[in-house]
């Protein structure tokens, strides 16, 4: 009985040692990126995401959207999940061309989660013709690092601010 207890204790100590070294179950340690690397990766991700919006590129936008992505826009129910967001974005691209710009004010990273707060401007050009609509406002986005180490947006919420008179 004492040998069994010692064997179990030894196994527990080995598991604790492995866990404390940062090894994964495959025995390969995942390097923790620096803050600067995380911020650069998020900025690059946002450039690709924004370009796909302005290009009306639903395939690229979908590839950058997490399965759990939820968009919370003013005056409507949240759009939850990749499929629902793909449908909404596809309809928007079918009807409009966008010229959107993001101006980050604060980006923070904590482990595998990050958030970014900022302002935006968007000019919307109806594909059928007509007047351009312009909107500006504030946004808050939450990102999660994926198992492959890349970031994806999981929540996107924004408001619009009335134009100055």
Domain of 53, CATH number, reads 3.10.450.50
Domain match, 94 and 132 both: yes
Three-class secondary structure of residue 12 per DSSP: helix
Structure-token pair, residue 123: 């000019």
Ranking 3-7, 56-60, 72-76 by mean pLDDT, the lowest is 3-7
What pLDDT was estimated at residue 31? 77
Domain match, 37 and 85 both: yes
- The closest of 12, 7, 92 to 53, measured between CA atoms, is 92
Secondary element (H or E) of residue 53: helix 35-55
Give the residue carrying structure tokens 């179950």: 25
Domain match, 23 and 37 both: no
When pLDDT is cut at 50, 70 and 90, the band that residue 162 belongs to is: confident
CA distances from 151 to 9, 67, 85, 130, 157 (A): 38, 13, 18, 37, 17
Domain match, 75 and 39 both: yes
Domain match, 79 and 64 both: yes
């Amino acid at each position: 009985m004492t040998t069994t207890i010692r064997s179990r204790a030894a196994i527990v100590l080995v598991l604790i040692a492995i866990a404390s070294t940062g090894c994964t179950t495959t025995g390969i340690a995942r390097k923790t990126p620096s803050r600067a690397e995380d911020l650069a990766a998020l900025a690059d991700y946002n450039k690709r995401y924004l370009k796909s919006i302005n290009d009306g590129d639903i395939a690229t936008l979908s590839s950058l959207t997490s399965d759990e992505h939820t968009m919370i826009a003013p005056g409507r129910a949240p759009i939850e999940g990749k499929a629902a967001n793909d449908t909404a974005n596809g309809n928007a691209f079918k009807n409009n061309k966008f010229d959107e710009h993001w101006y980050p004010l604060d980006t923070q990273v904590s482990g595998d989660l990050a958030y970014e707060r900022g302002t935006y401007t968007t000019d919307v050009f109806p594909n059928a013709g007509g007047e351009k609509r312009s909107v500006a406002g504030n946004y808050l986005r939450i990102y999660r690092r994926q198992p492959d180490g890349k970031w994806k947006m999981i929540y996107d919420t924004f408001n619009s601010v009335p134009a100055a008179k």
